[in-house]
Amino acid sequence: MKLDIPADVRQTQQVALRLRPGLLRLIFRIPWWFVVLSLVGISVIGLVRGSPIYQNIFGQLQAGVVLTLSVSFAAYVSALLIGLIVGLIRANPPEIGYGPVGIAVSVIRLILYNVATLYVQVLRGLPILVTLLIVAFVIVPEVNRVMRDTFDINLGLRGSSPTSAVIALSFTYGAFLSETIRAGIQSVGRGQVEAARSLGMNYVQVTRYIVLPQAVRRVLPPLGNDMIAMIKDSSLVAILGIQDITQLAKLSSSSSFRYLETYLLAAMIYLTMTVLGSAIVRLMERLFPVDR
C-alpha cells in the first residue's frame, strides 16, 4: 500500500536524501541562535575596542557588574532557602491529629500552612517595584525607629541600599520558587513515600533521601529560569539610585545623549550574564538528570 505523500514533501525528501545524511543532521543540530548571538557579541567587542566612545561607555558600565551579580546571587540563594521551607510547608496540608500531641502538632501545622499560603499570595500579588519601595521606605525606617525607641539600639540601616533590594527580591522570588518546589515535591509518586514509610523511615528521612533529590532534579529547568530572571530584576535597584549596570547606563546616557551605544552595551553585558547562566543551568540538568 503506497503512502499518500504530498508532492512538496516528497520533493524535500528527495533533495534531503541527496545531501550526505551527516551534513543534514549537522545543520539541524547546530544552535544557530547561539551562533547569531555570538557574532553580534563579537562585533560589539570589536566596536568597543575600536571606538573611544564605546570604550568610555563600557568603562562606566562594567563598574556595575559586580553589584548586579552580587545582588542577584544573594537574593537567589535566599529565595531558594525561603522557597524550600515554604514549599515543604505548602506541600503538606494540615491533617487532623489524634491525642493531645497529635492535636498540638495539627494546630501548629495549620498555622504554618496558613501563614505560608498568605505569604505566597501576598508576595506573588505585589509588583516587585512596589515591594522594593515598601521595604526601602516603610519597613526599614520602621525597624530603625522601633529599635531606637524601644531598645535604644541605633541600627542605622539604610533603606535605599542593596540590602533592601536583596530582601525584596528574595521574598518575592521565594514565593514563586516555593510554588515550583511544591510542584516538584508533589510530583514524586505517593507510592515511593508510602514504601519508604513502611520501611520505617520517618518524615524527615523520607523527604531528605527520597523526595527532595527527585523533586529538585525535576524542577531544575524552572529554578534555572528564575535565576536568570533574578539577574534581570536586579536592575530594579536603579530606582533607589544604587549604581548597578542599569543605573550607570541611565547616568551615562542622560549626559551623553548616546542612547544607542549605551543601551546596546548594557544589553550585551546583561545578555552575556544571562546566556552564560542558562548554559550553566543546562550543564546542571545534564549532571543531575531525572531518573525515568
Partner 1 sequence: MRSRSILVLILVAALVLPTALFAQEATPEATDESATAGASIPPALAELAAGEIELPDLEGRDVTIAVENAYLPFNFIHPETNEGIGWDYDALNELGARLNFTPVYVTTSWDSMIVATSQGEFDMAADGITITEERDEVVDFSVGYIRLAQVLLTRSGEDRFASTDDFAADESLILGTQPGTTNYDLSVELVGADRVQAYETFPVAVQALLIGDVDAVLMDNVASQGYIGAEAGALQIVGEPLTSEELGFIFPEGSELTESINAGLASMAADGTLDLLFEKWFVEFDPSTLTNAGEAEATAEADA
Residue ranges in contact with partner 1 by CB under 8 A: 129-130, 133-134, 137-138, 140-141, 144, 156, 158-161, 238-242, 247, 250-251, 254-255, 257, 259
Beta carbon nearer to partner 1, 227 or 240: 240
Least distance to partner 1 from the beta carbon of 249, Å?
Answer: 10
Least distance to partner 1 from the beta carbon of 37, Å?
Answer: 27
Distance (Å) of CA 277 to CA 45, 229, 232, 267: 20, 10, 12, 15
Beta carbon nearer to partner 1, 61 or 223: 61
Least distance to partner 1 from the beta carbon of 169, Å?
Answer: 16
Q: Quick one: DSSP state of residue 64? A: G
Beta carbon nearer to partner 1, 178 or 235: 235
**Of 199, 13, 211, 171, whose CA–CA distance to 79 is shortest?**
171
* 90, three cell numbers: 505548602
What span, in angstroms and rounded, lies between the C-alpha atoms of 220 and 283? 11
Beta carbon nearer to partner 1, 46 or 241: 241
Q: Which residues contact 263 (CB under 8 A, 6 or more apart)?
A: 249, 253
Burial class, 73, CB count within 10 angstroms (exposed 0-12 / middle 13-18 / buried 19+): middle
Least distance to partner 1 from the beta carbon of 79, Å?
Answer: 22
Beta carbon nearer to partner 1, 43 or 254: 254
Cβ–Cβ under 8 Å, residues 165 and 236: yes
Beta carbon nearer to partner 1, 172 or 178: 172
Beta carbon nearer to partner 1, 36 or 155: 155
Q: Which residues contact 80 (CB under 8 A, 6 or more apart)?
A: 174, 177, 223
Burial class, 116, CB count within 10 angstroms (exposed 0-12 / middle 13-18 / buried 19+): buried
Beta carbon nearer to partner 1, 25 or 145: 145
Least distance to partner 1 from the beta carbon of 148, Å?
Answer: 11
The H or E element spanning position 101 is helix 99-125
Least distance to partner 1 from the beta carbon of 71, Å?
Answer: 16
Cβ–Cβ under 8 Å, residues 193 and 208: no
Largest CA distance in the chain: 91
Q: Which residues contact 14 (CB under 8 A, 6 or more apart)?
A: none
What span, in angstroms and rounded, lies between the C-alpha atoms of 188 and 291? 11
Least distance to partner 1 from the beta carbon of 147, Å?
Answer: 13
Least distance to partner 1 from the beta carbon of 133, Å?
Answer: 5
